[in-house]
A and B are shown apart, each in its own frame.
Chain A
């Protein structure tokens, strides 16, 4: 593997042994899977207790569909790990890529085997997160960061929709397991929660599998290193959406809405992506759009009814992985060997890159669906599935178009790059990569051919897939050999149409490019960018409104919220409240109350601070009088003493402040409407509360207890004092401690003040 000519060796380079150690992970996974498939009967379930008190288990379940996904994850994964070892050899962050890929692989394995709904979501989001890190791998490039953010936002938002949907579905079906949900799904047709849940889950799956109108993030994600694109954005992660839709299909497949949405969105995505592919020059983006198209086709297949469609989904998934992963490797090799991925600058590479050319041809044969490839088998199965159901004419025409452009793309990736002569001024300086760059694509593409020639090798697994996608016991019989002959003419027609598209590729490209430029301002990508920009702008706008920095308004809003919350808590019971019985007010009490109110009102309208202080003193002295006249002499004394000390101290401070003009008197509007409204609400609420309380019968058990036990138990005649120092002594201890702590806390504040003054006065 000493091919890394343009990556100069440095101290960060990984040794061959280290790279091999990383590759051990997918290989051992693959080995384990094959062993499991050969030795165990599917489905294979595993449940570990997690939070037994909440009835949560870590449930895992492997059936045919999971096994197929696992095969892709570990099988393609093995190729990707070997390829990445060579492709990024000498790169200083190669370790990071391999570590992230390992973590991603484990998350994928978790996602396709988890049977617990929350667990499905957790692994699902983990794959999104790892995809973000891998797409943004080249973090010094702004485009790369933007693409990573876009992929993360789209799939992350979809993930949240998925979580909400799974929770709703779980509640509707009263289960926390995926298999339980599938088993009970048919009963949920009339449940509103289930309907909303299904829509949300669909949203999650559509974003993950890049379905229209969320298709735009996938080509952007091509800024990831090529092995990552081959693995995440073609073979495995983007198929998670299809996987989950297929998994849920037995439950909801009979809903007309489900079928309409899946076939509609799938067909639209498939066709639209094939139009967009014609507008591209970058080989990886071309492959990305054709992946989007394939995903659309898979979603459409899931939406079809009938037993054939179950087989078709599995066969197409496998076929797609077997030809698309090698094509990505080919794109990576071309990039590596020539320094460009622009197809208009490339051609005639077969002499310089013979092994890559071989791989490209083998894979392209599969993609075009030529006989003797597994692509052909998959095509046959898909056509068979469509025949089982009456399909709208537009869907069939769409399929023909999609098939034709697929063939053309396959031809571009093989014939045009390797066998046509290079265009004027194109790159001719090319070299072949090392064995770890050429072996994975050739091997994977060859497996595609082997399965094409000997389809029965994979028949058992596809039968298991079909069984896990079919409601009820048993499953369809899958016989791949029989169907091949029947579809030959159909395939031949598609290839003929594809050849036409290939030869008029350049004119088509110019048309689509021009049309795309016209449509771009209205496209999903532009919408995303506008929405993101508006989001930031509106966040800035909102922040400026909410965090305006004006302390008095903060306080007013705070009190407003308190009034509102109290009012709302108070309102429902308001009708059952009674007015208290009116009783006469004695003259001294009335005088005290008048003093209090007058003081408070004066304090609001007065402007001179010192007079304002005296007015507020009236509130205190009035309260003291009130206490005196209503049998509370202790309170009266306390209030008198406090008020006197308060007025003397504050007056001293105020006089000083005025004299020194340290505090400018503040010009404030005489009437502050919002504050007045909030204050009136607050006061009214407290008054209403007091009235409501006064009307209730009074429970004086505790007071009578204190009165009865004061003398015999505590030797005191002043019940108030006895309550303070004896019955509630611990409270009082705490309160006196609070008083002392408050004083101690004020000391450093004042000390700093004094120091400042000393500095200010030489």
Chain B
């Protein structure tokens, strides 16, 4: 492992969690304000890249949900797919997202399978694009012990 800048490492630690939290927030508010699954997922990818660059790719990989970009990406597509089934079971066309209003005393909280769909996009982008980034970044460390062929 090559020596890293201490500042980068300290900043990276904090930045990772901040970015991850931001990505979730972007994901959640996406339906009404700029944001959504794609953007949230890409912000999460930046978090992974920051972690990989400031600390190590192994750590960044472990910190991915499920610890494996392949599983993460696949679970995202699966979540999107399953979210479409909800509407279908209710007799609507596939990928029609029903909304349910949950009363919370004074106001109400609207939930829908569309949130699961967007979450699926978020996970797929995080897993696949983050996985790409890790693949390319990981090509580096193995070099340190070898001369050019």
Residues of chain B from 94 to 144 with CB closer than 8 A to chain A in the complex: 94-95, 97, 99, 110, 112, 114, 117-118, 120-121, 124-125, 127-129, 131-133, 135-140, 142-143
Q: Name the interface size band of chain B.
A: 35 or more
Task: State whether B142 touches A652 (Cβ < 8 A).
Answer: no
Inter-chain contact A714/B97, CB cutoff 8 Å? yes
Contact with A along B36-58 (1 / 0, CB 8 A): 11110011011001000100000
Which of B7-15, B59-67, B77-85 makes up part of the contact surface? Answer: B77-85
Q: Answer whether residue A576 sits at the interface, using C-beta atoms and an 8 A cutoff.
A: no
Q: How far is the CA of A724 from the CA of B36 in the complex (A)?
A: 9
Cβ distance A24 to chain B, nearest Cβ, rounded Å? 66
Taking each of A642, A661, A739, A742, which has the highest tally of chain B beta carbons within 10 Å of its own beta carbon?
Answer: A739
Residues of A within 8 A of B140 (CB): 652-653, 656
Q: Let me know if A489 is at the binding interface, CB within 8 A.
A: no
Report Cα–Cα, A736/B128, bound state, in Å.
9
Q: Is the interface of B mostly helix, strand, loop or mixed?
A: helix
Chain A interface main SS type: helix
> Does the CB pair A742–B133 fall under 8 Å?
no
Knowing A660-B143, A716-B31, A760-B149, say if A740 contacts B39 (CB, 8 Å): no
Question: B5 interface residue, CB < 8 Å from A?
Answer: no
- Residue pair A634, B124 in contact (C-beta under 8 Å): no
Query: 1/0 per residue A643-667: CB within 8 Å of B?
Result: 0110011101100100111100000
The answer, yes or no, to whether A21 is at the interface (CB within 8 Å) is no
Provide the bound-state CA to CA distance between A716 and B70, in Å.
31
Whole-angstrom distance between the Cβ of B24 and the nearest chain A Cβ: 14
Q: Tell whether, in the assembled complex, residue A761 and residue B35 are in contact, meaning their CB atoms are under 8 Å apart.
A: no
Q: Are A649 and B133 in contact (CB under 8 A)?
A: yes
Give the interface segment out of A82-90, A390-398, A448-456, A743-751.
A743-751
Given A715-B110, A718-B31, A740-B76, the answer on whether A641 and B117 have CB atoms closer than 8 Å is: no
Q: Does A486 reach chain B (CB closer than 8 Å)?
A: no
A714 to B112, alpha carbons, bound, how many Å? Answer: 9
A506 to B94, CA, bound (A): 95
Chain B residue at minimal CB-CB distance from A721: B36
How far does the Cβ of B115 sit from chain A's closest Cβ, in whole Å?
9
B146 contacts A by Cβ under 8 Å: yes
Closest-by-CB residue of A relative to B93 is A730
Task: Collect the chain A residues with CB atoms within 8 Å of residue B36's CB.
Answer: 634, 718, 720-721, 724-725
Give the distance to chain A from B107, nearest Cβ to Cβ, in Å.
15
Q: Residue B34 at the A interface, CB < 8 A?
A: yes
Chain B contacts of A757 at CB under 8 A? 142-143, 146
Do B133 and A736 have beta carbons less than 8 Å apart?
A: no
**Which residues of chain B are within 8 angstroms of A724 by Cβ–Cβ distance?**
36-38
Any B CB within 8 A of the CB of A409? no
Query: Interface residues, chain B, CB within 8 Å of chain A?
Result: 26, 30-39, 42-43, 45-46, 49, 53, 69-70, 73-74, 76-77, 80-81, 84, 94-95, 97, 99, 110, 112, 114, 117-118, 120-121, 124-125, 127-129, 131-133, 135-140, 142-143, 145-146, 148-149
The 9 closest A-B pairs by CB, nearest first: A761-B146, A641-B42, A743-B128, A633-B34, A717-B32, A736-B124, A729-B95, A721-B36, A716-B31
